Structures are given as C-alpha cells and as structure tokens.
Amino acid sequence: MQKRAMISGCSSGIGEDIALKLAKENWHVIAGVRNQADLERLKQYHNITPILLDVTVQEHVTACAEFFSSQQLSLDVLINNAGLASGGPIEGSSINDWQNVFAVNVFGLVNLSKTLLPFLRQSKGRIINVGSISGLVASPFMAIYAASKFAVEAISDSLRRELKHLDVHVSVIEPGPVKTKIWTKGEEKSHQSKATYNESVVAAYGEKLDAFEKAIDAAVVNALDVSQTTEVLYHACHSPKPKTRYIVSKRTLMIKLLRILPDKWADSLILSMR
C-alpha cells in the first residue's frame, strides 16, 4: 500500500528535497507551498500533489484537512518543515519580529499538527518536526530564532509523550545551518534590521554585531548540503524504530558538550567561537 506524507514548506530547500526523494520512492507526497508559481512547478512531478499552504493562514490549514477528508486519504507522516530565521540583539528587535517568526515556527507547526492528528491517530503514523541546533544551544544575537526552536523541542517532547499510547511517534530533526533560502533570507533580514537600530543600540553592540554578521556569513558559506538533512528525514520516515532526536551538524560533539557544561563555561566557549 502506498505511503502518504504531508510536508509544509516545500517551495525550496529541505522541504522540496525530501518531497522529491519520497516521491521517487513511490510515496504520495502532499506538498505545501506558499504561492501559485511553486504549486504549478511541483505539479510536473509524479507522486507529488502540491497544495497552497501558508501555515500562518487558518483557511489554508483548514483546507488542508478538508483535502484529506474529501479525498478519503490516509496520512502516514507529517513533516513540519516550514520555518523562518531571524538574527540580531534583543534590544534592537521589535515585537513584530518575534511574532513573525513564532507565527511560522511555533504556532503554524502546532496548528497544522493538531489539525491533522485525527488522520495520524487513525494510521498510527508519525510526526517529524524540523527544529535546529539553535533549539539546543542559544547563541548570542539569535534569541528570536533560538526561542522558537527551543519551543519546537518542548512541543515535540510533550506531544511524543501524549501520543505514545496511541502509537503515533514524534521525532525532531536538529540541523545546523543548511544551504537553503531560510539562511540567506535570515542573513538579509539581519542586515536590514541593523539599519533600523537607534544610535545607542549600534554603539552598545557595534563590534559584536559586526562579528555576528561575519559569523553568519561564514555559516552560510560552510553550511550543510541539503541532502545531509534529507537523508536523516528519510530515516525518520522509514525506520521501524525512528529516533526521538536527530542532530545533523558538523559540530555534534561540541553541541552535546555545551548541553552539559556549567553555564559560565558554556558562555565562554560559545563567545570564543565567534
């Protein structure tokens, strides 16, 4: 019987790559995209059914569930991949910056998950949330993004424990920077935000902000290839015993070390790496 996956954020990057990989393996993929152009482009691929899905728009999320109901489709895997990145000092951020990131990374993930859970309960399926190493270690000037990804960790833990007796598995993927548009867009947004900071913020954080921007530029250049994260997602979809967490990073041991070090030691180590 053909397996079926619902994936948000399939316009590019990780979402598009895992959608194409699963489709080649004869999965039926419902691919959520935010615009008509991407919808038309993905229509050309066998086993992929693209739908308009902005996870921040309630009508889109409701229509997604109605699509499954009206077509009497089962659902084996939900991959919550849609996401936004943002950087900069908390003092220079606006509440709107926080709301925009949380609307996608947290509230959109929760809303799509709870809306599609009846289908996943019926199939005893699985949910795979795309988090980040920023949900494990919070770097300076990454508070908005890190907070949203720490929330994904907590949501994944709670949901996994809530659904265990229903045989619905929950995994979270924790990649480092990946060569996708989310990081280049985040980089552009950080540069744009800097231009809006008042003089006192620029004076207080100037040199540190310059170092942060250089670190982000380097991270984008040295980012993981999309396929490395896709392979891990594929395992989480297929394995009879999927892991609860998958770290995908060139610094896996460092991340694990930072999680257990005393705070002051971790602070010194993180700041020395920038």
Is 145 known to be catalytic? yes
Gap between the Cα atoms of 218 and 226, Å rounded: 17
Long-range contact pairs involving 230-235 (C-beta distance under 8 Å, separation at least 24): 230/14, 230/17, 230/18, 230/21, 232/173, 232/175, 233/14, 233/18, 233/79, 233/128, 233/130, 233/173, 234/18, 234/21, 234/22
CB 111 within 8 A of CB 58: yes
Q: How many residues does the chain have?
A: 274
Residue of 45, 145, 197, 246 marked active site: 145
Gap between the Cα atoms of 274 and 268, Å rounded: 11
Q: Angle 53-54-57 (CA atoms, 0-180°, nearest 5)? A: 110
Gap between the Cα atoms of 160 and 8, Å rounded: 20
First CA to last CA across the chain, in angstroms? 50
As annotated, the active-site residues are: 145
